[in-house]
Structure 1
Amino acid sequence: MNTIKYLALPLLAVSLVMTGCANRKPTTDANATTNPNSVNTSGLSEDAALNAQNLAGASSKGVTEANKAFLAKRVVHFDYDSSDLSNEDYQTLQAHAQFLVANANSKIALTGHTDERGTREYNMALGERRAKAVQSYLITNGVNASQLEAVSYGKEMPINAGHNEAAWKENRRVELNYEAVPPLLK
């Protein structure tokens, strides 16, 4: 019995190695040597390739010295009971739009939030209007709708637990959360 075990183990190991080697393709991506953030995704499904690119790091495509500071900002704030974008946020959203247009594999979740005042239902709707306002602006500026997901958390996830105007002002926001291929801001 022990002899069979000792013969079967090496055979199993060799067959696993051979199977893995037969499926592995050599790296032929020209960017693999010139771009340290690129990975060879040939032979992978679209989703697997997207995940591999995301794991490899961020993208510098569409990132300029002029828009780095705006790309670093990932929160847009709103006035009380409003889903109107402020003039201050247009440059931030424009920088993110330019990055997303230049990086078709990038995906972003737009999460809408409110302060604690008002009913849960009202705040869920207001958070959604805020997220949709940001989504609409990005789409108007050339971003593919499939790169965006608008979600509302209403008053459920405050960033500041205070019960005053300063806390409420921080909580009235949309967060821009990159889920795939975020900007490289080095």
Structure 2
Amino acid sequence: MRFKFLSLFAALMLVSACQSAPETTATTTTGGTTTAAPATPTGPVPGSAEDFVANVGDRVFFGFDRFDLTPEATATLDRQAAWLKQYPNVTVTVEGHADERGTREYNLALGERRATAVKNYLTALGVDTARVQTISYGKERPAVLGSDESAWAQNRRGVTVIN
């Protein structure tokens, strides 16, 4: 009997521990009307690096041995430029990357051309040139390890990093 009681008590404690507290909102009363303040947002802080990555997108991809921007890339860069105009105090570094094929020197040069293509597009849309730096990592910092087209496609990229 005692064991059943303890088991029931333990089960109740376990279930009640899993319950989350309801989200509370502040209320104010003014002249007989009560209004509720909005709940605290749960997403990234507007203007933060997390906001940029989550809501805008921080990377664009390139074809093999290419540094020209695809329509998908320009759509992402359009969003990036709009975000950067909204937050004029933010500076960025555009990283140029390449896949593992080719020499180190060749991929550093290709990464630089990719980063410059991204920078030129952003500045053409009105982002101040002084706010955008570039750096090439070539094939030195792969996003995905592997020696197949799937991995290579993800490593041929330009990444805009909030400073």
**Shared fold (TM-score greater than 0.5)?**
yes
TM-score normalised to the size of structure 1?
0.59
Query: Structure 1 pair 69/88, CA: closer, same or farther in 2 (3 Å)?
Result: farther
Q: Deviations over 1:30-65 (max 9, x none)?
A: xxxxxxxxxxxxxxxxxxxxxxxxxxx6428xx9xx
Q: Which residue matches 2:47?
A: 59
Q: Percent identity?
A: 43
Q: Which residue matches 2:131?
A: 147
When you count strand as a share of all residues, which structure comes out higher?
Answer: 2
**How many angstroms apart in 2 are the aligned matches of 1:177 and 1:68?**
9
Runs of 4+ in 1 over 2 A off after TM superposition: 57-60, 67-70
Q: Which residue matches 1:176?
A: 160
**How many angstroms apart in 1 are the aligned matches of 2:135 and 2:46?**
23
- Count residues with an aligned counterpart: 118
Alignment partner of 2:94: what SS?
strand
Q: Which has the larger radius of gyration?
A: 2
Q: Which residue matches 1:35?
A: none
Q: How well do the aligned residues superpose, as a CA RMSD in angstroms?
A: 2.3
Which of 127, 132, 144 is residue 160 of structure 1 equivalent to? 144
**How many angstroms apart in 1 are the aligned matches of 2:54 and 2:107?**
30
**How many angstroms apart in 2 are the aligned matches of 1:58 and 1:177?**
16
TM-score normalised to the size of structure 2?
0.67
**How many angstroms apart in 1 are the aligned matches of 2:90 and 2:104?**
32
Q: Which residue matches 2:12?
A: none
TM superposition shift of 1:102 = 2.5
